[in-house]
């Protein structure tokens, strides 16, 4: 069956033709990391006895910390999303934004020093690239502060435009991150992995 | 007519050729075991609503029997060499990532079921989703799979996941009685 193009959509496409995706797409943030802190440090005469405490931190725990900070409950399946400008949002399971939480969690995507490998066609908007870029994730909760940095490897695929001129872009970025900060007021070190995954139509 | 050496040679050569033809022909036919499995009725774990599994020409992991308390892994609805297959894989991985944000047992079971999927992409996504889900309820399944697996890389990934999940969580240390994310 031949689909009819909505006149409003057609007018919109005429006034604002689809632009190629130059930046990455909004992505789901998946973080899994370990947090190390000095649990015990006892000096007895010439002996030192010490223990390092390790706890795991993930995106869902960050959501719970956000609930505590904001004194509100997010719906089941709520997710953390990183926008292309680095702002972090809580969305529902259907990716509908609920609230911006950049004051507590913020990502800096340094696009200026991105290393690009692959093919990008500026005329058609098609792209199939692997790029490397630095990211810094900063968290600022009352019990957990600090930042982690790393190099993410991004696979970005932007297909050919569909019959309405829209491109579908799929991004998968992953990398290891590490950094330092404080946990319950004590110095802490962090290491783990960070993933950004998203799909968008433009 | 007496049997000469030439006759014996012809006879032996013919026999050897016949045996070779028989063996080659037998090698390309399905074994009796495989044929009986194909003809057997579906087991009670086969989901009635699942689309028929499409034969794969890609290398897949050795299929492992999923535990009865888990649903069967979802099979691709299209042939693996079709253009739709990659879209299906992308969608399934996105589904698993989305499930990891829930906290209920049903979502965890759907993720764990895909650890038994023979497609390596889905298996890897299921393991990542299990880690992201963050529940220690997954550990017995992961331990069982680590014991069954013959792939050293997969074993290592499963062992690392188990070690990660066994660690205390940040929330447990902040507020032990009401920690939601680890049971």
pLDDT (tens digit per residue) in A105-159: 999 887 677 899 999 888 888 889 999 999 999 999 999 999 999 999 999 988 8
Asked if the C-beta of A18 comes within 8 angstroms of chain B's C-beta atoms, the answer is no
- How many residues appear in chain A? 202
Q: What are phi and psi of A156, to 5 degrees?
A: -120, 125
Contacts of B132 in chain A (CB under 8 A): 30, 32, 58-60
> How far away is chain B from the Cα of A189, in angstroms, using its nearest Cα?
13
Residue A12 pLDDT exceeds 60: no
Q: What are phi and psi of A182, to 5 degrees?
A: -140, 150
- For B85-102, b/e burial (b = at least 16 CB within 10 A) is beebbbebbbbbbbbbbb
Residue whose tokens read 């690392």 = B160
Give the tokens for residue B169. 């969580």
At B183 the pLDDT is 43
Asked if the C-beta of A155 comes within 8 angstroms of chain B's C-beta atoms, the answer is no
- Does residue A15 lie within any of the structural domains? no
Give the mean pLDDT of chain A: 85
At B120 the pLDDT is 92
Render B29-88 in DSSP notation, one character per residue: SPPHHHHHHHHSPPPTTS-TTSPPPPP--S--PPP-PPPTTSPPPPPPSS-TTSHHHHHH
**DSSP character at residue B169:** B
**CA–CA distances in Å: residue A115 to residues A88, A118, A153:** 24, 10, 10
Q: Out of A56, A77, A199, whose CB is closest to B164? A: A56
- For B52-82, b/e burial (b = at least 16 CB within 10 A) is eeeeeeeeebeebebeeebbebbebeeebee
Instruction: Give the angle B132-B134-B139 at the CA atoms, nearest 5°.
Output: 115
Q: Out of A32, A34, A170, whose CB is closest to B90? A: A170
Count Cα atoms within 13 angstroms, Cβ side, for A58: 24
Asked if the C-beta of A144 comes within 8 angstroms of chain B's C-beta atoms, the answer is yes
- Could you tell me the pTM of the whole model? 0.72
At A179 the pLDDT is 97
> How far away is chain B from the Cα of A3, in angstroms, using its nearest Cα?
21
For an interface test with B, the pick among A37, A51, A60, A157 (most B C-beta atoms closer than 10 Å) comes out as A60
If one counts the domains in chain A, the total is 1
Residue A155 class from Cβ within 10 Å (0-12 exposed, 13-18 middle, 19+ buried)?
middle
> How far away is chain A from the Cα of B32, in angstroms, using its nearest Cα?
45
Q: Out of B134, B168, B172, whose CB is closest to A60? A: B134
> How far away is chain A from the Cα of B43, in angstroms, using its nearest Cα?
33
At B21 the pLDDT is 60
Asked if the C-beta of A60 comes within 8 angstroms of chain B's C-beta atoms, the answer is yes
Q: Taking CB atoms and an 8 Å limit, are A183 and B104 in contact across chains?
A: no
At B110 the pLDDT is 96
Q: Taking CB atoms and an 8 Å limit, are B169 and A60 in contact across chains?
A: no
Count Cα atoms within 13 angstroms, Cβ side, for A46: 0
> How far away is chain B from the Cα of A46, in angstroms, using its nearest Cα?
31
Residue A7 pLDDT exceeds 90: no
Range of the domain at A91: 25-201
At B66 the pLDDT is 73
How many contacts does A have with B, using Cβ atoms within 8 A?
Answer: 77
Q: Out of A32, A61, A79, whose CB is closest to B171? A: A61
Q: Taking CB atoms and an 8 Å limit, are B101 and A59 in contact across chains?
A: yes
* 183 residues of chain B, pLDDT tens digit each: 566 777 776 877 777 676 666 655 444 443 334 334 433 443 433 333 434 444 445 555 555 677 778 888 888 888 888 878 888 998 899 999 999 999 999 999 999 999 999 999 999 999 999 999 999 999 999 999 999 988 999 999 999 999 999 999 999 987 544 444 444
The model's pLDDT over A17-64, given as tens digits with 9 standing for 90+, comes to 333 233 467 899 999 999 999 989 999 999 999 999 999 999 999 999
- Does residue A191 lie within any of the structural domains? yes
- The three-state secondary structure class of A101 is coil
- Does residue A90 lie within any of the structural domains? yes
Q: Taking CB atoms and an 8 Å limit, are B164 and A77 in contact across chains?
A: no
> Which H or E run contains B102?
none
The model's pLDDT over A143-200, given as tens digits with 9 standing for 90+, comes to 999 999 999 999 998 887 777 778 788 888 999 999 999 998 899 999 999 999 888 7
Q: Where are the domains of chain B?
A: 41-178
- Does residue A75 lie within any of the structural domains? yes
């Amino acid at each position: 069956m031949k689909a009819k193009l909505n006149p409003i959509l057609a007018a919109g496409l005429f006034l604002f033709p689809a632009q190629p995706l130059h930046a990455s797409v909004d992505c789901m943030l998946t973080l899994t990391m370990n947090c190390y802190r000095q649990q015990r440090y006892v000096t007895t005469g010439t002996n030192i006895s010490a223990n390092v405490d390790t706890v795991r931190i993930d995106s869902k725990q960050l959501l719970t910390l956000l609930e505590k900070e904001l004194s509100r409950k997010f719906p089941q399946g709520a997710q953390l999303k990183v926008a292309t400008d680095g702002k972090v949002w809580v969305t529902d399971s259907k990716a509908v934004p609920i609230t911006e939480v950049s004051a507590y969690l913020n990502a800096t995507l340094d696009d200026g020093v991105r290393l690009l490998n692959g093919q990008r066609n500026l005329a058609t908007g098609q792209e199939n690239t692997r790029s490397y870029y630095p990211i810094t994730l900063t968290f600022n909760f009352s019990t957990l502060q600090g930042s982690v940095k790393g190099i993410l490897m991004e696979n970005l695929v932007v297909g050919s435009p569909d019959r309405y001129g829209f491109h579908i872009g799929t991004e998968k970025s992953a990398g290891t991150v590490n950094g330092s900060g404080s946990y319950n007021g004590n110095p802490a070190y962090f290491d783990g992995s960070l993933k950004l995954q998203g799909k968008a139509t433009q | 007519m007496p049997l000469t050496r030439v006759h014996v040679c012809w006879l032996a050569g013919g026999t050897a050729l016949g045996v070779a033809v028989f063996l080659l022909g037998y090698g390309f036919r399905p074994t009796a075991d495989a044929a009986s499995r194909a003809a057997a009725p579906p087991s009670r774990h086969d989901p009635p609503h699942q689309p028929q599994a499409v034969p794969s020409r890609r290398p897949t992991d050795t299929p492992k029997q999923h535990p009865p308390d888990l649903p069967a892994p979802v099979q691709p609805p299209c042939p693996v060499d079709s253009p739709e297959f990659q879209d299906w894989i992308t969608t399934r991985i996105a589904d698993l990532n989305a499930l990891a944000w829930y906290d209920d047992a049903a979502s965890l079971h759907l993720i764990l079921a895909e650890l038994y999927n023979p497609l390596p992409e889905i298996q890897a996504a299921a393991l990542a989703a299990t880690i992201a889900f963050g529940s220690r309820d997954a550990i017995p399944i992961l331990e069982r799979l680590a014991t069954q697996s013959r792939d050293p890389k997969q074993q290592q990934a499963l062992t690392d996941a188990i070690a990660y999940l066994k660690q205390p969580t940040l929330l447990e240390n902040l507020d032990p009685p009401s920690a939601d994310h680890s049971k």
